[in-house]
């Protein structure tokens, strides 16, 4: 099996185990740009997270990681910052 196929299968397996490489979260409780920054910082602190895009108008956060991370860890980071999150 070539390396690309192998890593693809690994991604699928990790996704099934509730781990993600890329995930969109619905965020509840944001009201201004400060909220956006707080969530951005909180998510970026989660080990493995490589980029975070928070959209205030859509109430969404798009998280990309450089390795599979537990989606629950991302949600917890948002909750700890004082907001609510769920996968969409």
Under the binding rule (CB under 5 A), the answer on residue 57 touching Cu ion is no
Q: Is 32 an interacting residue with respect to Cu ion (CB under 5 A)? A: yes
- Closest distance between Cu ion and the C-beta of residue 44, in Å? 17
Phi, psi of 48 (to 5 degrees): 105, -20
Among 35, 39, 71, 78, which residue sits at the site for Cu ion (rule: CB under 5 A)?
Answer: 35
Per CB under 5 A, which region of 1-9, 24-32, 49-57, 60-68 contacts Cu ion? 24-32
Residues 6+ apart with CB under 8 A from 49: 43, 63, 64, 65, 66, 69, 74
């Amino acid at each position: 099996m070539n390396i690309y196929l192998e890593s693809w299968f690994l991604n699928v397996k990790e996704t099934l185990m509730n781990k993600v490489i890329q995930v969109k979260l619905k965020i509840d409780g944001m009201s201004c740009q400060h909220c956006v920054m707080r969530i951005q910082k909180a998510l970026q602190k989660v080990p493995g997270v490589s980029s975070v895009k928070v959209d205030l108008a859509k109430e969404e956060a798009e998280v990309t990681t450089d390795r599979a991370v537990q989606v629950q860890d991302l949600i917890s980071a948002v909750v700890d910052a004082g907001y609510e999150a769920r996968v969409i």
